[in-house]
Amino acid sequence: MGELFQPMHLLIVGGILLVLFGGKKLPELGKGLGEGLRGFKDGMKGVTDDDKPADSAHIVTPKAEESVK
């Protein structure tokens, strides 16, 4: 059993995509796929950042108001 992604396989898949979607639509599809993957990666990064302990979080408290005489 050979490799799954041989160059000939990739050319055949690329040709099928070109026939199905056309040359004008392929860049838009690629851009949308890239943005979706980037959003997924950022979302996963946010999930792992939420797992940090509370000690590392910066808590900002408002200053007490001074009384004016």
Residues 22-68 have pLDDT tens digits of 988 989 988 999 999 999 999 988 877 665 555 555 666 667 666 65
Domain ranges of the chain: 23-49
| Distance from C-alpha of 41 to C-alpha of 58, rounded to nearest angstrom | 25
pLDDT of residue 6: 87
| Distance from C-alpha of 51 to C-alpha of 46, rounded to nearest angstrom | 9
In this model, does residue 69 exceed pLDDT 80?
no
From residue 17, how far is each of 31, 45, 66 by CA, in Å?
15, 31, 69
| Distance from C-alpha of 4 to C-alpha of 19, rounded to nearest angstrom | 22
| Distance from C-alpha of 20 to C-alpha of 28, rounded to nearest angstrom | 14
Average pLDDT rounded to a whole number, residues 7-29: 90
